[in-house]
Amino acid sequence: MQERPLLGESPELQAVLRAAQLVAKADCPVLVLGESGTGKEELARMLHRLSPRADGPFIAVNCGALPSELAESELFGHRRGAFTGADRDHPGFVGAAEGGTLFLDEIGDLPLSLQPKLLRFLESGERQPLGDAHSRSANVRVLAATHRDLHEASDQGHFRRDLFYRLHVVPLELPPLRLRGRDALLLADHFLKELADNYQTDPPRLNPQARRALLEHRWPGNVRELRHLCERLVLLLPGQFLGPENLGLKAAPWSRKGPEDRLVQLPAQGLEFEALEHDLLRQAMVQARGCKAQAARLLGLSRNTLLYRLKKHAIDC
């Protein structure tokens, strides 16, 4: 796989990259946090590249995609005969990462049943393949990433707090693209050129209004969304001079500017945010006649977030 550096000059990104260089050499676990598309996997690969394990394997595992019945043997391996169908020894992802780095992506989705086993592995440095009477010492560095709020997941009982604290020793949080100053422009110029080279065509150019639109967009899909936009522009409008109307960016509430655009006017004397949240939750539940899925839609929240907030406010329903 092609290795790309993480581009960006904003102090917000540079601070994370500096911290990453410091911890890359240590053998401790690192938890990479950030919204979807902020570059978590890219950062994990960089940590591996800068580590003394760079010549060893980098094994990426999507924890959300581990089939739950097979998850333990997929991760820690098994011995031949450990269960029906186990016709040979299997190293598992941990075994495959020996001498290198194991990247546990979407760690927030790791099945609960596996979490104590991962914690034991992190604390002892030993893995025990299924069906093996002995544990073996493993020489593996663990990196993990998630776009989920693990604090919230722990509060909800989906993620073990002891594992959270073990992983959270060195957290590196990638800022969302909308909080990286002018990086969106720098990245757009880079992606347009790189992709135009790949497709052997001319890069489109952005007029000042289009550049401004890039800076004001909310980028819910972060760098990935920007890269996909650039790919679309290179393919559909090569070599053209583009205005904001060519970008097809939807205005988001975040980028509303004038007072006439505000969703809610903050009273001059301020307000009680917790009380407002409580009131909105109750209104949504009443309006949705107690249907949580409908209440979540009314508030623009995921069902899990709604459940968490109802619990936080002790709203009985």
Ligand X SMILES: Nc1ncnc2c1ncn2[C@@H]1O[C@H](COP(=O)(O)OP(=O)(O)OP(=O)(O)O)[C@@H](O)[C@H]1O
Q: How many angstroms separate the CA atoms of 41 and 47, rounded?
A: 10
Is 228 one of the binding residues for ligand X (CB under 6 A)?
no
For residues 148 and 297, which CB has a smaller minimum distance to ligand X in the complex?
148
Please choose, out of 35-43, 119-127, 204-212, 250-258, the segment that lies near ligand X by the rule CB under 6 A: 35-43
Q: How many angstroms separate the CA atoms of 140 and 43, rounded?
A: 18
Query: Cβ 102 to ligand X, closest distance in Å?
Result: 16
Applying CB under 6 A, among 12, 42, 194, 216 the residue interacting with ligand X is 42
Query: Cβ 107 to ligand X, closest distance in Å?
Result: 11
Query: Three-class SS of residue 141?
Result: strand
Query: Cβ 42 to ligand X, closest distance in Å?
Result: 4
Question: Tokens in use for 270?
Answer: 């301020």
H or E segment and range at residue 313: none
Q: How many CB atoms lie within 10 A of CB 11?
A: 10
Applying CB under 6 A, among 104, 140, 150, 223 the residue interacting with ligand X is 223
Question: Tokens in use for 158?
Answer: 């989906």
Q: How many angstroms separate the CA atoms of 31 and 95, rounded?
A: 21
CB-nearest residue to ligand X: 39
Dihedral pair phi/psi, residue 103, rounded to 5°: -105, 110
Instruction: Work out what residue 92 binds among ligand X, Mg ion, none; the CB cut-off runs from 5 to 8 Å by kind.
Output: none
Applying CB under 6 A, among 29, 39, 175, 204 the residue interacting with ligand X is 39
Query: Cβ 157 to ligand X, closest distance in Å?
Result: 23
Q: How many angstroms separate the CA atoms of 217 and 250, rounded?
A: 8
Beta bridge partners of 90: 78
Asked whether 104 and 144 are in contact (CB, 8 A), the reply is: yes
Is 40 one of the binding residues for ligand X (CB under 6 A)?
yes
Instruction: Work out what residue 118 binds among ligand X, Mg ion, none; the CB cut-off runs from 5 to 8 Å by kind.
Output: none
Asked whether 49 and 3 are in contact (CB, 8 A), the reply is: yes
Applying CB under 6 A, among 120, 147, 205, 297 the residue interacting with ligand X is 147
**Site residues (CB under 5 A) for Mg ion?**
41
Please choose, out of 32-40, 149-157, 161-169, 294-302, the segment that lies near ligand X by the rule CB under 6 A: 32-40
For residues 41 and 173, which CB has a smaller minimum distance to Mg ion in the complex?
41
Is 48 one of the binding residues for ligand X (CB under 6 A)?
no
Please choose, out of 38-46, 70-78, 282-290, 299-307, the segment that lies near ligand X by the rule CB under 6 A: 38-46
HSE-CB at 219 with a 13 A cutoff on CA atoms is: 29
Helix 273-287 vs helix 303-312: crossing angle, to nearest 10: 120
Is 140 one of the binding residues for ligand X (CB under 6 A)?
no
Applying CB under 6 A, among 205, 224, 232, 282 the residue interacting with ligand X is 224
Q: Mask of contacts with ligand X, 162-191, x by CB under 6 A?
A: -------------------------x----
Locate the DSSP E strands across 29-159.
30-33, 58-62, 101-105, 126-127, 136-137, 141-146
Q: How many angstroms separate the CA atoms of 201 and 234, rounded?
A: 8
Between the two ends of the chain, the Cα-to-Cα distance in Å is 50
Is 7 one of the binding residues for ligand X (CB under 6 A)?
yes
Give the interface with ligand X as residue ranges (CB under 6 A).
Answer: 4, 6-8, 34, 36-42, 147, 187, 223-224, 227
